[in-house]
């Protein structure tokens, strides 16, 4: 049997792929467990600097929950650990990118939303469809921080899909590329991040989310705390030294 989720590292970039194209990469129990396992593997993998989450095939990044499975199990309120929610029910300090091919609906939208960056194929479509099937989307609480309340409300209340172009327009995705270029463009973006000083990258990620959790004064104070160990690290000396010596820096992560 094929693995429901695969993990592969290419030049410091870990590709975590939902491998269930015949079911539009729906979130069955095996897929959900595979995603949790894949994120834990990435966290422990020193060779992997950036995680890319994607779906196999060209029809769907992830169509959301497996409705047949939900009907069979009479699922009511999903438990907090039902599906990985980065930063909420599973720690992930290194950067993450969603490479969205085809539809990212419901739980698929959740996965794309939770990644730090998002690259979309031109065929990509995004929707929170729960209102159309009587389900819930409490995980969408951060959405108004990402795209603004007016756009978030439109997405949540209508359940209508957004094209890749519209998703880019409202700030949900960073870049839209031809379908054939999705993997190459995402890999190139991830490699540019992976080449940077790892302590600075992790601190930058933490800093970007501070304003979602606290006021500006508190955010500045917390940012100072986050960045102090970066300033005092070996890498903080290596960067200027490499610039002086006209060479590529060799990061130690210390």
- Tens of pLDDT, residue by residue over 131-168, are 988 888 999 999 999 999 999 999 999 999 999 999 99
Our CA dihedral for 53, 58, 59, 65, rounded to 10 degrees, sits at: -20
Instruction: Report how far residue 234's alpha carbon sits from residue 126's, in angstroms, rounded to the nearest whole number.
Output: 42
Q: How far apart are CA 156 and CA 192, in angstroms?
A: 34
pTM of the model: 0.93
Residue 117: what pLDDT? 98
Q: What is the pLDDT of residue 134?
A: 82
What does the pLDDT read at residue 71? Answer: 64
User: 119: helix, coil or strand?
Assistant: strand
148: Cβ contacts below 8 Å, ≥ 6 apart = 170, 171
Which positions of the chain have pLDDT values less than 50? Answer: none
Task: Spell out the alpha helix ranges (H) of the chain.
Answer: 29-44, 67-73, 107-114, 130-133, 143-147, 149-158, 164-169, 182-194, 198-210, 216-231, 234-245
pLDDT at residue 141 in the model:
92
């Amino acid at each position: 049997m094929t693995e429901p989720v695969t993990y592969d590292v290419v030049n410091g970039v870990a590709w975590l792929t939902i491998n269930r194209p015949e079911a539009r990469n729906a979130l069955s129990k095996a897929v959900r467990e595979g995603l949790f396992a894949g994120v834990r593997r990435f966290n422990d993998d020193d060779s992997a600097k950036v995680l890319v989450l994607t779906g196999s095939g060209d029809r769907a990044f992830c169509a959301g929950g497996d409705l047949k499975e939900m009907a069979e199990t009479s699922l009511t309120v999903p438990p907090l650990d039902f599906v990985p929610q980065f930063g909420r029910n599973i720690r992930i300090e290194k950067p993450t990118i969603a490479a969205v091919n085809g539809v990212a609906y419901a739980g698929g939208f959740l996965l794309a939303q939770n990644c730090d960056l998002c690259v979309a194929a031109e065929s990509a479509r995004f929707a929170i469809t729960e209102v159309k099937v009587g389900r819930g989307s409490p995980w969408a609480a951060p959405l108004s921080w990402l795209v603004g309340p007016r756009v978030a409300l439109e997405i949540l209340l209508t359940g209508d899909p957004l094209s890749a172009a519209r998703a880019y327009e409202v700030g949900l995705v960073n870049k839209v590329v031809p379908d054939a270029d999705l993997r190459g463009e995402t890999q190139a973006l991830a490699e540019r991040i992976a080449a940077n000083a790892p302590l600075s990258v992790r601190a930058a990620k933490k800093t970007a989310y501070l304003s979602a959790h606290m006021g500006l004064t508190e955010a500045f104070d917390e940012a100072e705390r986050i960045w102090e160990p970066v300033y005092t690290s070996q890498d903080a000396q290596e960067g200027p030294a490499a610039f002086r010596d006209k060479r590529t820096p060799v990061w130690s992560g210390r």
